[in-house]
Amino acid sequence: MSTLSHQTSSFLLACLFSINVWCEEINYLVVEDISEPFQITDNNESKGGIVSDIIDEVFKGSQHSITRHVLPLKRIYKLVESGEVSNWIAYDAKVWNALSQWGNFVDEPLFPVNHTYLTCQQNAPVQISSSKDIETHNVAIIKNFDYPELTQLQQTGKLSLTSVDGYQQGINLAGLNRIDGFVEMELRLRFNIQQEQLNKPCFQFIDMSQVIPKYSIYLTIDKKNKSGLNAFVLQRINTLKETNVINNILSHYTKHSL
């Protein structure tokens, strides 16, 4: 029996003996290792994170049971595409559309994000007003992450991209001046620098919004769900925003690093 099948069977038994009139299992998909601080994992276990904490608040006190599946990103895509995992919830962005073929976005975004250019170069631009400010640069990006704006610049020969396995490698390369800059979400970069204690006096964070526009993070839900889950989550997100819960969660993970 697969892990997913075993977890589903355990849930059905729990519901059978529950006093609840109605019970629904939601499979929350957690990306392993590379999505901090949105999702934090350790030894294949979910350990919180901004999106994970929001998920907890969304379903707090409801008749839904949340089962967390911590898996590599490619494995998540395969499970969703094959239909092996159903009634799932995950996070996505409309500029990524990573799961849009199989999921529907919840209409209300969770929070906005922006990208930054981390560098230790003494001759780094004071600001990045357009792609011309980073032409001919060697820029590090996380492997398997999609950066259409940077990929297009690479394809036209305007910059070079170096793939790195994770934040620590990219941050270290920037700190050692082995690359011109490391491009990632500012929130993620600052969080990982603080967590890994990799900060250096030479680090500069240059906003990339003129090259990679700001966008928002959303929850997305299995298209096959027929229980009205999307509407329930939408209502809960609006309530969490009105009561400042989402801002408090963001502050918890960024107060020491932003």
Angle at 51 between CA 49 and CA 52, to 5 degrees: 60
Place 22 in a pLDDT band, splitting at 50, 70 and 90: low
Q: Within 10 Å of residue 208's Cβ, how many Cβ atoms?
A: 26
Please say if the pLDDT value at position 152 is more than 90: yes
Please say if the pLDDT value at position 258 is more than 60: no
AA letter at 13? L
CATH number for domain 115-207, candidates 3.30.70.360, 3.30.70.1560, 3.40.50.1220, 3.40.190.10:
3.40.190.10
Cα 128 to its chain centre, rounded Å, is 24
Q: What is the pTM of this model?
A: 0.84
What is the per-residue pLDDT across 85-138, written as a single tens digit (0 to 9) for each?
999 999 999 999 999 999 999 999 999 999 999 999 999 999 999 999 999 999
Select from 157, 168, 154 the least CA-distant residue to 196: 168
Domains 3-11+21-111+215-254 and 115-207 share a fold: yes
Please say if the pLDDT value at position 17 is more than 70: no
Report the chain's mean pLDDT, rounded to a whole number: 90
- Tell me if the domain spanning 3-11+21-111+215-254 has CATH number 3.50.50.60: no
* Domain residue ranges of the chain, discontinuous segments joined by +: 3-11+21-111+215-254, 115-207
DSSP one-letter code for 133: G
